[in-house]
Amino acid sequence: MEIGLDRLIDEINKSQKSIISVYLFGEMGIGAPRFIQDKPHVLRNEEGYAFFPIAGEDEETAGYYIGDLHEIYEEEADEEARAKFEVREQGILLMEIRLY
């Protein structure tokens, strides 16, 4: 089910832990590192984007800016996750977010 960015932000901010898998080369899963964050907290910036850090908390380090034009889907949770989301751009999978 497609959802909006505000709903994703709300779900992330309510979670105890997030695991983000980043697909660097599309859906092939090649170079799909996983980043774990305890007590994640995400906000929108002045331009309306949410920053998802993948290598620390510093926006200068590495991460993704997700905006309202990205496609965000709530998927059936797997493993022990309470929620799972996919973020896509023009149909190409960018990241999976699992919340615990």
40-71 residue pLDDT tens? 989 898 999 998 776 655 555 567 789 999 99
CA distances from 36 to 17, 40, 53, 56 (A): 7, 9, 10, 10
Number of structural domains, the chain? 1
2-53 residue pLDDT tens? 999 999 999 999 999 999 988 876 555 566 678 888 999 898 989 999 987 7
- pTM equals 0.84
Handedness of CA 55, 61, 63, 66 (dihedral sign): positive
Residue 18 lies in a domain: yes
How many distinct helices (H) and strands (E) make up the chain? 1, 8
Structural domain including 12 reads 2-90
Residues contacting 90, CB < 8 A, separation 6+: none
Residues contacting 66, CB < 8 A, separation 6+: 5, 8, 49, 50, 52, 72, 87
Residue 95 lies in a domain: no
